Structure 1
Amino acid sequence: MTVGPARRRGLSAEVADLIREAIFDGRYPPGAALREVELAEALQVSRGPVREAIRVLEVEGLVRAEWHRGATVAALSVQDVAELDSLRGALEALAVRRVVDHASDEDLGRIEKAVDAMDRATTPHEMVRCDIAFHDAVYAAAGHSRLVQAWEAIRSQVHLFLITRVNVSSVGYLEQIRSEHRDLAAALRLGNADGALELFAEHRRHAFDVLTSGN
């Protein structure tokens, strides 16, 4: 048995990247319609790659498609928020313990560099990107490939979770996130697993409380 020739990365993947970025920077907020015709015209492509891109983003959990409404940016329900929070907590517990036990000085340096990047964030959406980048660095430092894969499976949804959080309230958000992540990085550097786990749980709890305070 043989396999076919490899294909270069398709146009639909590039379109998915562009739509994803538009969601992440707030141009398409949760609940916004994603109309194939408008997107195809704006991106100067046919509707086929747009349709395929929307399917990719639907698998990621960023988009919801219903026959009577078309495609929209996912708006997280109370159950969505609770499930993402609990799953994120389970993954982070393993990540933190592995970082404390196995991370090199270089790994910890990359985590601290991600914190330093937060000083340059001037908007909530930029800070959300920095927040995600910090957690990317933590999972990378854990040295567990399947854990990284599990994180990547929910990464876009967590990004949407954090965007939804800042849409609810961004008062004091920039400095709060900088301060929290400095403390998280410091706890990992000290090798204090229990203290780091508590700080990571508190960090998640702040976002969860903002999202659920009105429910």
Structure 2
Amino acid sequence: MANPRVEAVSIVDAVARDLRERLFAAEFPGGTGFTEAEVSGTYGVARPTAKAAIEKIVGEGLLVRGAHRTARVPELGPEDVRDVYHTRAVLESEVLRRLAAGRIVPEDARAANAEIGRIMNSVPALGIVEPDMRFHASLIAALGSPRTSKMYGSLVREVKMCMAQVQGRGLLEPELICAEHDRILELLAAGDGEGAAGLLNDHLSRARERLVAALGGEAGPEAAAAPGVELGAGPYPAPTPPPR
């Protein structure tokens, strides 16, 4: 009988992983602090272990810490969310136009979206945050511009926090995300940069305005925008209306 595969995880990694999942699930409101003593008591680990786990999460950008201050959950309000998504749209749309001009379809983006398709019905919605992030980051990387990648990298923490809240709150259907990603790649292969940029704008705007509403803001009409791909006739169900 074949030996089952097991994953050896350090205590630090185990604590960090649980904290990460709870942050992605929006379990802690913005501004919540994490001290070594609290994490140590919650998980029953030594304070140096708690400190290392906190620093790991800070290093990933999911917690922020000023000099000699407690690590805290970043605070994002409705206008912060709009600014993050608008900035993403500016960068990603232009990248798509340039990729389409060369009919460049990044294999890493294909692989990331294929992973979303494989796992979306077998894992919690939060499970698609990482491959979703990789899909978009792969498009940026394919441009081959270190400075553009650096600019996008400065947004990654806030982008991931927004994605995690969208999925943690069930605001956007994984099937729709996967289908629109597929269509964006098809448009790149066809050399249709404006079509790809337009679909990306719909894709991001829908998530943006639904999250704005979930955070107490007033959603714009983009929250209920018609899907940029046809759903319901094939393997993808029609999307549900945005929450009110």
Deviates more, 1:76-85 or 1:29-38: 29-38
Note the residue ranges of structure 1 that are not aligned, 5 or more in a row.
1-12
Alpha-carbon separation, structure 1, partners of 2:94 and 2:19: 28
Can you list the C-alpha shifts for 1:124-151, whole angstroms capped at 9, x where unaligned? 1111222101012111211111111111
For residues 201 and 125 of structure 1, what CA distance do their matches in structure 2 show?
Answer: 22
User: 2:203 maps to which residue?
Assistant: 203
* 1:25 shift after superposition: 4.7
Matches within 5 A, 1:177-192: 177-192=177-192
Q: Is the 8 A contact 1:103 1:143 kept in 2?
A: no
Indicate conservation of the 8 Å contact 1:168/1:210, yes or no: no
Which string of whole-angstrom CA distances, capped at 9 and with x for unpartnered residues, describes residues 140-174 of structure 1?
Answer: 2111111111112211210101111223334x612
**1:87 equivalent in alignment to 2:92:** no
Greater shift, 133-142 or 197-206, is seen at 133-142
Q: 1:72 to 1:180 in 2, by over 3 A?
A: same
Tell me the equivalent position of 1:26.
25
| Residue deviations 1:6-51 (CA, integer Å, cap 9, x gap) | xxxxxxx979975774456538544354232233564645165467
Asked whether the 8 Å contact 1:96–1:197 carries over to 2, the reply is yes
Question: Which residue identity is paired with 2:177?
Answer: I
- Letter aligned with residue 82 of structure 2: A
- Give the whole-Å Cα distance in 2 for the aligned partners of 1:205 and 1:89: 9
* Aligned-partner Cα distance in 1 for 2:142–2:64: 33
- What is the aligned-residue identity percentage? 21
Aligned position for 1:111: 109
Structure with more helix by fraction? 1
Aligned to 2:223: none
The alignment of Structure 1 onto Structure 2 pairs a total of residues equal to: 197
Contact 1:184 1:199 in 2 (8 A): yes
Q: 1:24 to 1:103 in 2, by over 3 A?
A: farther
- In the other structure, the counterpart of 1:123 is 124
Q: State how far apart, in whole Å, the 1-side matches of 2:90 and 2:84 are.
A: 10
- What CA RMSD, in Å, does the superposition of the two structures yield over aligned residues? 3.4
Q: TM-score, normalised by structure 2?
A: 0.66
Structure 2: any 5+ residue segments left out of the alignment? 1-11, 218-244
The residue type paired with residue 101 of structure 2 is D
Equivalent residue for 2:193? 193
Answer yes or no: is the 8 Å Cα contact 2:34–2:54 preserved in 1: no
Which residue is equivalent to 1:39? 39
**Alpha-carbon distance in structure 1 between the residues aligned to 2:24 and 2:95:** 27
TM-score by length of 1: 0.74
Cα distance change of structure 1 residues 129 and 55 upon mapping to structure 2, 3 Å threshold: closer
Mapped contact 2:128–2:174 kept (Cα < 8 A): yes
Give the alignment of 1:56-95 within 5 angstroms. Answer: 56=59, 60=61, 62-64=62-64, 70-95=70-95
Partners of 2:40 and 2:79 in 1: CA distance = 33
1:30-81, CA deviations, whole angstroms, 9 ceiling, x for partnerless residues?
4354232233564645165467556645xx4x335589x9433223112211
AA of the residue aligned to 1:191: G
